[in-house]
Amino acid sequence: MLKAVLVDSNAVSRGLLNTVLTDAGWEVVAQTHTSAQGYALVLKHKPHFICVAREQVEDGAQIVEQLRAQAPKTLIFMVSGQLDADTVREAVARGVHGFIVKPFKADAVLKTIRNTVMAVVRKGQT
């Protein structure tokens, strides 16, 4: 079972994403509204992936860089209602593995996570 941490200042978004993931059989081990708390929760729970809102990625707290240094196996998904090419390029360069677009569509969220996990596993086997 995949474990996740959710970081989003919007409680409704966290709740919706929590429902999508738990309905798929995955375990949401923790949720928070700040990048600093999200970082601490990743270190504590050691999830397979973290879904973090774009605002927390770009808030200056350097959560992506901290996670890359301290939890390099944790996959990072940036969640946003708006993604453009420059944002995606910058996020990938910082270490983001995938993108989840709001409003959430359960099948798209699950497919994005599964495909990213499989790509990382395949990459590790080559």
DSSP 68-92: HHH-TTSEEEEEES---HHHHHHHH
Query: pTM for this structure?
Result: 0.94
Rounded-to-integer distance, Cα 45 and Cα 17, Å: 18
Q: Write down the pLDDT at residue 121.
A: 86
Q: Please tell me what DSSP assigns to residue 24.
A: T
Name the 3-class secondary structure at 103: coil
Q: Write down the pLDDT at residue 78.
A: 97
Residue 126, pLDDT above cutoff 60:
no
DSSP 27-63: EEEEEESSHHHHHHHHHHH--SEEEEEHHHHTSSS-H
Confidence band for 125, pLDDT divided at 50, 70 and 90: low
CATH architecture group of domain 3-125? 3-Layer(aba) Sandwich (3.40)
Per-domain residue ranges for the chain?
3-125
Residue 120, pLDDT above cutoff 50:
yes
pLDDT tens per residue, range 1-60: 899 999 999 999 999 999 999 999 999 999 999 999 999 999 999 999 999 999 999 888
